[in-house]
Amino acid sequence: MHNYSFYIFIVLHISAPNMAHAFDYFEQYGNSELKVTGFIEDPSYSGQNNIFMTQQIEPSFFIEQGSMETLVKPRLRVGNNGAGRVDLSEAHISFRHQNYDVRIGSITEFWGKTESYNPSDIVNSYDYTSGLASSEKLGAPAFKLSSEIYGGYASFYLFPLFVENAYPGVSSRQRLQTLVSNDVASFANNASRNDNSFAFRYEGYYEDLDYGVSYFDGISREPFFIPDADTRLLPEYAPIRQIAVDLQYLLGDLAFKTEIVNRSGQRNVNGVLENYNAGVLGIEKNRYGVLGSQYDLVLFGEISADSRGNNSHTIFQRDLTVGGSLLLNDIDDSEFSLFLTQDLSYSSGTTRFSYSTRLNDSFTIEAILNLYSNLAQDPSQLPLAKDSSANVTFNYNW
């Protein structure tokens, strides 16, 4: 855990009642989440548990003083799977100088358009301590300068420090057989965690087209794992360059989506440096008032591909994903969702069924069933072969 984050968390809670009188505007809000997860099969590796309970609290403190805005979002998580953590998911100041928007601090960004996989989303590292299939983004220390240019919005990013991923412990499910070190990391090609990374993104709308173009030059958030002397795996991060395009075009009740990337400097699954192209192509259809009811149905299908084929370092080398959501449009915002992904190379598949609803103005509940099939045939997903699970999440917002 990061001790400085814990102290910030406590200080902000104690001082929150007095902050409203010290600034032009102050707001404190947030959410608390209790998640209970049960795994259907016995674990693949010794030390893993079958049932987990995790409590996460994420308060937000928003301050406005003159032309400057400050957002601080500590995150505290405890549980019985070794996933305890205190960090800052976001902590930054924002202000406008002439025609430029400036943001300095720890930020969380999302780039992309598709549903199943977002290869263009490259800014943040990830916290995998709850499982490789249950990740959360970690804040990235950054300087962001943005401005409106030619009808779009251009952003330049400087990342002065690299944040390493956090990986599951011995009791966690959805992990590799050999544990990944969270204490030590390696950097390829004479890189280091103190190296600057840079990024640029230009996004906007033209009639029915929503577009984004991005460039990244810095340390990859997706390491290659090498055996370490202490029997753990050592994550090795390498400098990369990536150019990406993400598009969404609306045509009536249809939405066509795609993300395409070209990356150089990334190691493939065999540890070989290999430049590659990857992408996702999909279509989404909205049907309103299904069969004359108040329900809306959203259907989508996407296919992903990687020029390296089965040597890809990701699990999306050649996959088909189809699914949909049924929106009941009731007072509780109830929703059913079903997503199915089929690996066209190994015939492995995943099924995800979920239901969510609001219990009252503050409480929501979500139930999710994750089923894996034939993962034993897929080398990249073999460690998760026995990790089908069901979970229930209670969320309180204030």
Q: What is the secondary structure of 152-212 as a DSSP string?
A: EEEEEEEE-S----B---TT-SS--SSPBPSS--EESTT--TTS-EEEEEEEEEETTEEEE
Please tell me the distance from the alpha carbon of residue 87 to that of residue 368, in angstroms, as a whole number: 26
Q: What mean pLDDT do residues 166-183 have?
A: 91
Pairing type for strands 186-187 and 233-237 reads parallel
pLDDT tens profile 87-114: 888 999 999 999 999 999 999 999 999 9
Tens digit of each residue's pLDDT (9 = 90 or more) over 243-257: 999 999 999 999 999
The whole-number pLDDT of residue 250 equals: 97
26: confidence class by pLDDT, cuts 50, 70, 90 = very high
- pLDDT the model gives residue 167: 93
CATH number at residue 250: 2.40.160.10
Lowest-pLDDT range, 19-33, 109-123, 351-365? 19-33
Residue 5 predicted with pLDDT over 60 = no
- Picking from 171, 216, 134, the residue whose alpha carbon sits closest to that of residue 51 is 171
**Predicted local distance difference test score (pLDDT) of residue 80:** 80
Q: What is the pTM of this model?
A: 0.89
Residue range of the domain that includes 15: 3-397
By C-alpha distance, which of 57, 58, 47, 42 is closest to 81? 47
Q: To the nearest whole number, what is the mean pLDDT of the chain?
A: 92
Q: In total, how many domains does the chain have?
A: 1
CA distance 164 to 235: 9
Model confidence band, residue 47 (pLDDT cutoffs 50, 70, 90)? confident
Query: Per DSSP, which regions of 66-99 are E strands?
Result: 68-79, 85-97
Lowest-confidence pick of 78-82, 170-174, 351-355: 78-82
pLDDT of 1 above 60: no
pLDDT on residue 228: 87
- pLDDT at position 11, please? 46
Q: Which two tokens stand for residue 303?
A: 């296919």
pLDDT digits (tens, 9 = 90+) for 291-335: 899 999 999 999 999 999 999 999 999 999 999 999 999 999 999
- Give the tokens for residue 229: 């002397």
If one counts every other C-beta atom within 10 angstroms of the C-beta of residue 330, the result is: 12
Query: What percent of the chain shows pLDDT beyond 90?
Result: 81
How many C-beta atoms lie closer than 10 Å to residue 9's C-beta?
Answer: 19
Tokens for 278? 């990857």
